[in-house]
Amino acid sequence: MKISFEELKAQFKKVLLKLDFSEEKAERCATIFAENSRDGVYSHGLNRFPAFVKLIKEGQINIEAEPEKVGQQGMVEQWDGNLAPGMYTAQVATKRAIALAKENGMGLVAVKNTNHWMRGGTYGWQAAEAGCIAICATNSIANMPPFGGTEARLGNNPIVIAVPRQEGHLVLDMAISQFSYGKLQEYELKGEELPVTGGYDEDGNLTKDPAKIRVSERPLPIGFWKGSGLSLMLDVLVASLSGGRTVAEITADTVEAGVSQFFICINAQNLDQSISNRIIEFAKSSDSMEEGGSIRYPGESSLATRRKNEEEGIPVNEEIWQQVLAL
Amino acid sequence: MKISFEELKAQFKKVLLKLDFSEEKAERCATIFAENSRDGVYSHGLNRFPAFVKLIKEGQINIEAEPEKVGQQGMVEQWDGNLAPGMYTAQVATKRAIALAKENGMGLVAVKNTNHWMRGGTYGWQAAEAGCIAICATNSIANMPPFGGTEARLGNNPIVIAVPRQEGHLVLDMAISQFSYGKLQEYELKGEELPVTGGYDEDGNLTKDPAKIRVSERPLPIGFWKGSGLSLMLDVLVASLSGGRTVAEITADTVEAGVSQFFICINAQNLDQSISNRIIEFAKSSDSMEEGGSIRYPGESSLATRRKNEEEGIPVNEEIWQQVLAL
């Protein structure tokens, strides 16, 4: 079943207004959820919306709160998210980092006590649309063991890097785990093996079996020791810069709320975009691993899906759509 | 054979002065090479010094050149390295980024036409010693296929993230390849398998055999498609921000010279260092994979090696040491 972007957004907004969201907040949050589905990130669009509503009803997300600036040193600002909807606050923070970048070349907004930003790429696209480079990161609940360990002590701590480009922005949106738990479950439900090793089984052997990794709770960070170090550093950066909570403290609370994030923007208005084009062209000039295969730049698939879905409608899981219609 | 830091540094300096380095440049470059060996990064200390001297004699590195500022927008500066010694220019750029950060909260220095910075961690330690967070990156010659491709089109493009901490700075110094060619050769010479898959053989099968990967020239980026995207984005960032050369252009020249880099510093003087301590403590609280194994934070091993080598002397490859004594 396919529906239009407008229909999806209107339904999200209707539900949020019913939950007493302000007009502006409902508009912004509904737009972000609908855009995530439109760009093919269904897991953080429609499919996540019921869980978002549940968190609001449980009081984990404060719909009346506004993020506020609580500290500043030059172009570096600290904000408190006050547990407002995470995607709303992330958009406000990105907007502020863009403004700092337009004025001073670059700016950084670090946010504590915020909530899940859903799809990190959203803020990369936002910055790129405004002519800015973005580097953003968030921490999360612990869901990976550090290299050499067996117990979850690291978040998958997604990082986003975006660079504006007329022919289609470059947007890397990447969690530090090789596969998310959601992705593991998808493969398990399809009865498929992972394409590459994704973690350890309970005996400590590397495996492509998604079920075994879900049981052992030992998914791999990208690049083993390298991703393990990178995930730890991202936690240090987001928590130190914002004065906010670490993966340890989020995990102790058992609910993934009150996370820490940062948003760096750099004005790219005067940069030479032909440089990105040459890099993409060079990458694509490699022979393919598989007959008819292609090499894609970060953001290329999202843009292709966006165009397809805008033309043909956004594919929705009918059961979840009915659920959202009933909210 | 072990020698002292002072002896190592003095010999490097003597050679550089004989090559007509200025007193200051010889002092700085000799110190960096000696520190790299002292911290256990022998591949970019003594062991790399003869190759550095060769590049100078061949005229690839201009010992008289000074890096100079060629552009600026607010806290973001563009510099031209003028092909001066890479580790000298990287240190100058980091110093400038630190100064910008002290004054404005943060600063960015992007450098074009520079040379190999040797060990990226050097500039992370430099920033951390000055009380700054650092995020730095460089591009390189193409040495990895992009995900889905079979020909080298990406650099290993190392990234450095450093955060100051009284008990020992956190310094992640990470190339985007799972193993460097140097590391593959080390394993091959020892007749050992890699600890994890490091690339494809010529038939396109994943392998732990270092020799097969050196033949196929298909080493893996960390996390397959993820590291592939990250490496491409780092090239876009360093080249776009500096207006410098891309991996494509460096590769076309067949010699790894005239690379592009950026150095971001953020003033960390007012940040709460107990946050890093809590993150490290939490990571280390995991059970170990192996009996007696340990979980380390990025920078921990370097610091331990530094202390050991300062006390016991720096282990040197006698053949290379004799070679350097004869220069």
- ipTM exceeding 0.85? yes
Q: Which of residues 19-48 of A touch B (CB under 8 A)?
A: none
Q: Is B166 on the interface with A (CB under 8 A)?
A: no
Å between B4 CA and nearest CA of chain A: 31
pTM of this structure? 0.98
The reported pLDDT for the residue numbered A318 is 96
Active-site annotation of A, residues: 44
For chain A, give the longest Cα–Cα distance.
55
Express the helix, strand and coil content of chain A in percent, nearest 5 each: 45, 20, 35
Residue type at B43? S
d(Cα B156, Cα B222) in Å, to the nearest integer? 10
Å between B302 CA and nearest CA of chain A: 14
Q: What is the mean pLDDT of chain B?
A: 97
Give the list of residues 6+ apart from residue A36 with CB closer than 8 angstroms, or none: A42, A44, A45, A48, A118, A119, A122
pLDDT tens column, A137-196: 999 999 999 999 999 999 999 999 999 999 999 999 999 999 999 999 999 999 999 999
Write the DSSP assignment of B34-72 as a string of letters: HHHHHTT-GGGTGGGHHHHHHHHHTTSS-TT---EEEEE
Distance between alpha carbon B253 and the CA centroid of its chain, in Å? 21
d(Cα A81, Cα A66) in Å, to the nearest integer? 7
pLDDT tens column, A273-295: 999 999 999 999 999 998 888 99
Q: How many CB atoms lie under 10 A from the CB of residue A108? A: 26
Residues in chain B: 327
Q: Do B108 and A103 touch (CB under 8 A)?
A: no
Beta strands in A2-67 (DSSP E): 2-3
d(Cα A156, Cα A168) in Å, to the nearest integer? 27
The reported pLDDT for the residue numbered B155 is 98
> Which residue has tokens 């949106």?
A173
Closest CA to A158 of A234, A233, A247, A93: A234
The residues with which A263 forms a beta bridge, in sequence order, are A109, A136
The reported pLDDT for the residue numbered A20 is 97
Question: What is each CA distance from A274 to A23, B109, B239, in whole angstroms?
Answer: 41, 21, 11
Pairing of strands A76-80, A68-73: antiparallel
The residues with which A223 forms a beta bridge, in sequence order, are none
Q: Phi/psi class of residue A37: alpha, beta or left (left: φ > 0; alpha: ψ in -120 to 50)?
A: alpha
Which residue does chain A place closest to B294, by CA atoms? A148
Give the list of residues 6+ apart from residue A78 with CB closer than 8 angstroms, or none: A69, A70, A71, A72, A110, A111, A112, A241, A242, A243
pLDDT band at residue A255 using 50, 70 and 90 as cut-offs: confident
Q: How many CB atoms lie under 10 A from the CB of residue A9? A: 19
Give the list of residues 6+ apart from residue B273 with CB closer than 8 angstroms, or none: A240, B164, B165, B166
**The two three-digit tokens of residue A129, written as one number:** 């649309």
The reported pLDDT for the residue numbered A77 is 98
CA pseudo-torsion sign A224, A225, A226, A227? positive
Alpha-carbon dihedral A55, A61, A62, A65, rounded to 10 degrees: -150
Q: Is B139 on the interface with A (CB under 8 A)?
A: no
The reported pLDDT for the residue numbered B2 is 97
d(Cα B49, Cα A269) in Å, to the nearest integer? 40
The reported pLDDT for the residue numbered A94 is 98
d(Cα A283, Cα B155) in Å, to the nearest integer? 11
> Which residue has tokens 């508009």?
A27
pLDDT band at residue A112 using 50, 70 and 90 as cut-offs: very high
Query: Are the C-beta atoms of residues B312 and B7 closer than 8 Å to each other?
Result: no
Residues in chain A: 327
The percent of residues in chain A predicted with pLDDT above 70, rounded, is 100
> Which residue has tokens 């309970």?
A202
d(Cα A50, Cα A68) in Å, to the nearest integer? 27
Question: What's the DSSP call for residue A115?
Answer: -
d(Cα B7, Cα B21) in Å, to the nearest integer? 19
Task: Report residues of chain B scoring pLDDT below 70.
Answer: none
d(Cα B236, Cα A128) in Å, to the nearest integer? 14
Which residue does chain A place closest to B299, by CA atoms? A229
The reported pLDDT for the residue numbered B257 is 87
Q: Which of B253, B270, B286, B300 should one mutate to test binding to chain A, selecting the residue with the greatest count of A CBs within 10 A?
A: B286
pLDDT tens column, B253-278: 988 889 999 999 999 999 999 999 99
Contacts of A170 in chain B (CB under 8 A): 232-233, 236
